[in-house]
Amino acid sequence: MVERTLAIIKPDAVEKHAIGDIIRMYEGAGLRPIAIRMMSLSKACAEGFYAVHRERPFFNDLTTYMSSGPVVVLVLEGADAVKVNRDLMGATDPKKAEAGTIRALHGASIEANAVHGSDSVENAKIEISYFFAESELG
Ligand code: IDP
Ligand code: MG
């Protein structure tokens, strides 16, 4: 099934000049970018995006980190895009991520782990609409 998923290249990966390598990995895995925007998230925007994690102990640190520098927000399209992207990303903790995954290659810590990726088709729809209008998707 052709699906869409939302990805974010997080501030740590932008800072270390990994944007190009990460987009190359998406394209190599058959995930076609259909929208790309570089932006700086306000703290409130990061809090809204991660609202499901509101009660988690790391919520304040996470949203401070996500608003600490520019990010690249992308919509990726392809067969089984949600799962293909989750597999390509690797485990949340880069130390536990499989070799060759984005987080193993570019993640710095369990928090600064290089990328976000939607975890279901349903959440992908919500996350895509958080950042993009339908008319912005190529
Ligand atoms: P995921 O990004 O692999 O789906 P989630 O559990 O949805 O992981 O967590 C969202 C984000 O919150 C992670 O990508 C990471 O940046 C941060 N995070 C998750 N667990 C921890 C933690 O234990 N300490 C600090 N930050 C965390
Ligand atoms: Mg998640």
pTM score, whole prediction = 0.98
The pLDDT, as a whole number, for residue 2 is 98
The pLDDT, as a whole number, for residue 87 is 98
By the CB criterion, residues less than 5 angstroms from ion ligand 2 are 119
d(CA 126, CA 122): 7
- Which among 88, 116, 82 is positioned nearest to 13, based on CA atoms? 116
The pLDDT, as a whole number, for residue 116 is 98
d(CA 137, CA 133): 7
Q: Which two tokens stand for residue 20?
A: 């190009």
Atom number, ligand 1, closest to the C-alpha of residue 112: 16
Q: How far, in Å, from the CA of 119 to the mean position of ligand 2?
A: 6
Q: Look up 106 and say whether it is catalytic.
A: no
Residues of the chain with pLDDT under 70: none
d(CA 43, CA 54): 13
Atom number, ligand 1, closest to the C-alpha of residue 116: 2
